[in-house]
Structure 1
């Protein structure tokens, strides 16, 4: 049992699960906007997420705190290196305008982790804006990237789907911020720190309602797709309701991050 737990922990710590969530959201964009499957886009999104998130999570440990490299940490570094090569390969397969979005995502990741200037704060420590940066970044990778590579026009449907995706990620991040409340530095000025857990949950419920409402704005949207979005809204509401600062790490890092995967599976089976 301990062996399987170690594998599961590595799966989460190495950012493979969050990369799977990004993969799922890109596939959802394909389905929602009738875009043909594009291997370069989904693979760039997946491998790029592994590299980006591991860089964000472990840069400070390796660069500043100089922690001892455990076996797990060394494997994560190796995985990140292989993922970087794969991400670069698929980056070359993208169309020129899409490459600009991909390069922009790279810059955001770097500036989010490293300070602009010596002895200055990085974007991650800018008071009160972390949640918005993450949401915009995910919209860029999971909506704009596939749309631009498919050379779709920025119609009102695309814009509304981008807003819906932003709201979806925003709600997920609110759950993370509730759970991380005891560990976040006060200087981060997160939403639960500013308005409290109860009001944060109320904000999340409003976001979930908006997320469901925006599902109306899709041409030829089927009843089954609306039902799936309603079910996802209920799942988000459930995770929000039961979120608290005493939840263990798997509640957010696995369960909450599994919602995009559940959404994709439901669309593939019933959509």
Structure 2
């Protein structure tokens, strides 16, 4: 049991779980927009997500963003390096029209993590910007990149899906923001710090309602997205409702981050059922 727990913790700490969540959202985009996303882009996003997330998580603790202190983090660092090499290899097989957006997302991620501001600060440390940047990068990586890899232009439905994905990630961040209230620096001025837990949850409910209603703005609305997003809407409402300051260890890090996988699974089940 101890070995299984160690493997599971490494799975979470090495950002494999969050990378699977991002990977699943790319496929949700493909299913929603009825497009065939290149396999190279799936692999690139999955392995690049592991590298980027671990760099953001552990880079701030490392000397010059390279040298980490303990053996466990070094193992994650070497694993991340391997994933980065796989991601770089996949770059050679990506469509040319994704590289501009890829560059924009890379710059935003770099500004988020690297100390480019005075007093060795990064954009992550600026008041209120943290969750907006994370949501924007997730929306860009899981909707814009797969869309431009296939489509010649960003259509109205792609814009709606991007806005909806942005809201979706904001909702998922609510439990994390509340969980980290005890640890975050007061300078971050996160939503729970400024408004309190109760008001933050109310904002989460509002975001969830908007997330669902935006579905009906699409031009070619199908039954599958409505059914799937109705179930997802109820799930998000329940998760925000159950979110508390004192959380069980895996509530946010596993169960909340598994919601994108649940969304993908709902779509797969629906597709199987109607066939």
What is the CA–CA distance in structure 1 between the aligned matches of 2:117 and 2:176, rounded to whole Å?
Answer: 29
Unmatched 5+ stretches in structure 1? none
What is the CA–CA distance in structure 2 between the aligned matches of 1:117 and 1:167, rounded to whole Å?
Answer: 28
Q: What corresponds to 1:69 in structure 2?
A: 70
What is the CA–CA distance in structure 1 between the aligned matches of 2:117 and 2:19, rounded to whole Å?
Answer: 29
- Cα offset for 1:205? 0.8
Counterparts of residues 246-257 of structure 1 (less than 5 Å): 246-257=246-257
Would you say the 8 A contact 1:91–1:102 is kept in 2? Answer: no
What is the CA–CA distance in structure 2 between the aligned matches of 1:201 and 1:77, rounded to whole Å?
Answer: 35
- Cα offset for 1:96? 2.2
- Cα offset for 1:172? 0.8
Would you say the 8 A contact 2:205–2:237 is kept in 1? Answer: yes
What is the CA–CA distance in structure 1 between the aligned matches of 2:249 and 2:126, rounded to whole Å?
Answer: 24
- Cα offset for 1:83? 0.7
Query: Matched residue of 1:248: which SS?
Result: coil
Would you say the 8 A contact 1:115–1:121 is kept in 2? Answer: yes
1:89-148 deviation per Cα after TM superposition (whole angstroms, max 9, x unaligned):
112222223112222222222221111156331111111110101111111101110111
Would you say the 8 A contact 2:179–2:244 is kept in 1? Answer: yes
Query: Matched residue of 1:130: which SS?
Result: helix
Residue 27 of structure 1 pairs with residue 1 of structure 2: no
Instruction: Name whichever of 90-99 and 132-141 sits farther off.
Output: 90-99
Q: What corresponds to 1:141 in structure 2?
A: 141
1:125-175 deviation per Cα after TM superposition (whole angstroms, max 9, x unaligned):
111110101111111101110111113422211111111111101111122
Q: What corresponds to 1:216 in structure 2?
A: 216
Would you say the 8 A contact 1:17–1:254 is kept in 2? Answer: yes
Q: What corresponds to 1:53 in structure 2?
A: 53
Count of matched residue positions in the alignment of Structure 1 and Structure 2: 270
What is the CA–CA distance in structure 1 between the aligned matches of 2:68 and 2:134, rounded to whole Å?
Answer: 27
1:157-208 deviation per Cα after TM superposition (whole angstroms, max 9, x unaligned):
1111111111101111122101111111110011111111111111111111
1:255 to 1:69, Cα distance in 2 relative to 1, 3 A: same
Query: Matched residue of 2:257: which SS?
Result: helix
What is the CA–CA distance in structure 2 between the aligned matches of 1:31 and 1:13, rounded to whole Å?
Answer: 29
Normalised to the residue count of structure 2, the TM-score between the two structures is 0.93
What is the CA–CA distance in structure 1 between the aligned matches of 2:269 and 2:37, rounded to whole Å?
Answer: 16
Q: What corresponds to 1:231 in structure 2?
A: 231
Normalised to the residue count of structure 1, the TM-score between the two structures is 0.94
1:221-247 deviation per Cα after TM superposition (whole angstroms, max 9, x unaligned):
333431211111111111111111110
1:3 to 1:166, Cα distance in 2 relative to 1, 3 A: same
Query: Matched residue of 1:68: which SS?
Result: coil
Q: What corresponds to 1:125 in structure 2?
A: 125
Q: What corresponds to 1:162 in structure 2?
A: 162
Two-structure CA RMSD over aligned residues (Å): 1.7
What is the CA–CA distance in structure 2 between the aligned matches of 1:139 and 1:220, rounded to whole Å?
Answer: 21
1:236-270 deviation per Cα after TM superposition (whole angstroms, max 9, x unaligned):
11111111111033111110000000000110111
Instruction: Name whichever of 73-82 and 130-139 sits farther off.
Output: 73-82
Residue 109 of structure 1 pairs with residue 70 of structure 2: no
What is the CA–CA distance in structure 1 between the aligned matches of 2:89 and 2:2, rounded to whole Å?
Answer: 36
What is the CA–CA distance in structure 2 between the aligned matches of 1:209 and 1:162, rounded to whole Å?
Answer: 16
Instruction: Name whichever of 229-238 and 213-222 sits farther off.
Output: 213-222
